[in-house]
Amino acid sequence: MPARLPAAPATTPLPRHKDPFRIVLTGGPGGGKTTAADLLRREIGERVVVVPEAATMLFGGGFPRSDQPDARRAVQRAIYEVQRNIEDVQAARYPKRALLCDRGTVDGAAYWPDGSRPGFFEAVHSSLEAELARYDAVLFFETAAVGGQSIEGGNPTRVEDEAYAIVLDARLRELWSQHPRFLFVPHSDSFLGKLSLALGMLQALIAGWNGGPGR
């Protein structure tokens, strides 16, 4: 009988999170997530690196957009691929840092035409479960539109009005709230108060990450 390999010791530590550690900042348009991403990165320091929003990069660079359903599907497939790859680029450039992602790969399902969210995941050859598992935590910034505030300004590529921002916020929340570590940052009349709440959440996530600098 061939010799059996010794079993691994029962005390062998298992990693709590996959590498890299990915945190998504998402929510409806006008939630302040992009502004928050930069400010949170400045506050947390070199333990995190921001992954910029793929849609803003594409549209800001002249990528065409259209209300035609087939064109919208093509746009969301392109955003999905750019999102995945830019996350991989930042992970390769900064292997010891947590990724602070300005939106994630699940977002495209909320923007998919005809409300066919399963159709989005079929189109990108994935599933909601697989894309949620890509991330370790979600910080959801509720849109200011729910408080009756204007969402004009901030992102020059934004085309949504307040009513549609609320619709998108609800769709995104339905999707992302299925993540086991979903953290909700509600609208507040004080953006500094909203940012302070998000900072506390992010600090707790980074403190609990066993893959950061100094491990």
As a whole number of angstroms, the distance between CA 198 and CA 192 comes to 10
- The pLDDT assigned to 18 comes to 52
Does CATH number 3.40.50.150 belong to domain 22-207?
no
Low-confidence ranges of the chain (pLDDT < 50): 1-17, 212-215
Write out the two tokens for 88.
């991989």
- Do residues 168 and 29 touch, judged by C-beta distance below 8 A? yes
DSSP, residue by residue, 146-203: GGT----SS-TT----HHHHHHHHHHHHHHHTTSTTEEEE---S-HHHHHHHHHHHHH
pLDDT tens for each residue of 56-68:
999 989 898 888 9
Nearest CA to 110 among 199, 27, 36?
Answer: 27
- The pLDDT assigned to 211 comes to 52
- The pLDDT assigned to 129 comes to 96
Cα dihedral 129/163/29/19 (nearest 10): -10
Q: Which residue ranges make up each domain of the chain? A: 22-207
- The pLDDT assigned to 49 comes to 95
What phi, psi does 3 have (nearest 5°)?
-65, 140
This prediction has a pTM of 0.83
As a whole number of angstroms, the distance between CA 100 and CA 81 comes to 18
As a whole number of angstroms, the distance between CA 64 and CA 66 comes to 7
Q: For residues 187-203, b (16+ Cβ closer than 10 Å) or e, as one string? A: bbeeeeebbebbeebbe
Q: Report the greatest alpha carbon distance in the chain.
A: 75
